Amino acid sequence: MNTELPFINIKAQSNHHAIFLMLTAVFVTFTTLAFSQGHWLQFKLVLIFIYLSALVVFITGLAKYLEPIYSLRLSPKGIYYHHRYGRWQLDWQQIQRIALMNETYGLTQVQPPYIAIRLLDLSVLPNQISPRLANRLIHEQRPLIALAIRLDYLTLEQSQLNFDPYILPSGEVLKGPIAAFMHHTTLLHSALGYHLFLPQTALDRELNEFCSLLIKCKQYSVQYNE
């Protein structure tokens, strides 16, 4: 077995241009400040609007800058998802299926902007996700819950957040954010057939292309570790 595990580092498209946006906002602010010295009374409302717009641009750039450098790391051992609020990781052998979702709503085909992952055993997840990220994903994945409701896969009552303890098959009782996330994940699996979802914003290429990359990594991992 090769003990040196090479990584494929993925930098999300949503992280691009962070420095550019912040510098642009600073430049616009100082330029406007210089102009306003002699024209504040004549253009007060316009200048205030420019200041506010520059602030929004700066905050957007800062939010991008604070994201992890790499959103995903792929190795022959597994997949590592990095988020500002934490991370989760999985071995390829723990994954049953990786796919794009295609749902039918009336006469329209709907493809949510996610890559879906189905696990062989959900009970491995609590030890491989941080509590902060678990709590955050519940809220970030509300659009998936809304889609399931729209497709009549879930009722409004079923979609409510569940903060009850979660009992694993081993008998272990989970509480707090991890328990809430496990209930959330179980609900999504019952409705959409998958447990974890990689958002398109975390990827560096089109959904189809990245999904093919993950499938190949999973296939090659078996050969690499032989």
Q: DSSP assignment of 53-105, as one string?
A: HHHHHHHHHHHHHHS-S-SEEE-SSEEEEEETTEEEEEEGGGEEEEEE--EEE
Q: What is the average pLDDT across 71-89?
A: 92
Bridge partners of 196, per DSSP, are 117
pLDDT recorded at residue 225: 56
Lowest-confidence region among 45-54, 129-138, 196-205: 45-54
Distances (CA, A) of 7 to 28, 29, 44, 184: 40, 41, 53, 30
What is the C-alpha separation between 210 and 212, in angstroms, rounded? 5
Tell me: do 147 and 182 sit in the same domain. yes
Task: Give the dihedral sign, CA 66/179/198/215.
Answer: positive
Q: Is the pLDDT of residue 196 over 90?
A: yes
pLDDT recorded at residue 40: 76
Tell me: do 98 and 206 sit in the same domain. yes
Closest Cα to residue 148, out of 200, 100, 105, 88? 105
Residue 183 resides in a domain: yes
Q: Is the pLDDT of residue 27 over 60?
A: yes
Band the pLDDT of 5: cuts 50, 70, 90: low
Q: Is the pLDDT of residue 103 over 90?
A: no
Number of domain units in the chain:
2
Tell me: do 20 and 97 sit in the same domain. no
3-state secondary structure 9-27: EECCHHHCCHHHHHHHHHH
Cβ atoms of residues 214 and 72 within 8 Å: no
Band the pLDDT of 99: cuts 50, 70, 90: very high
Tell me: do 34 and 114 sit in the same domain. no
Longest dimension (CA), the chain: 75
Q: What is the average pLDDT across 14-40?
A: 81
Residue type, 225: N
Mean pLDDT (the chain) is 88
Q: Quick count: other Cβ atoms within 10 Å of Cβ 40?
A: 11
Tell me: do 97 and 131 sit in the same domain. yes
pLDDT recorded at residue 1: 39
Structure-token pair, residue 69: 């450098």
Tell me: do 95 and 184 sit in the same domain. yes
Tell me: do 90 and 183 sit in the same domain. yes
Collapse the DSSP code of 112 into the 3-class scheme (helix H, G, I; strand E, B; otherwise coil) and give the result: coil
Residue 54 resides in a domain: yes
Band the pLDDT of 121: cuts 50, 70, 90: very high
- Could you list the residue range(s) of the whole structural domain that residue 58 is in? 13-66
pLDDT recorded at residue 62: 80
Closest Cα to residue 62, out of 118, 20, 121? 20
Residue 51 resides in a domain: yes
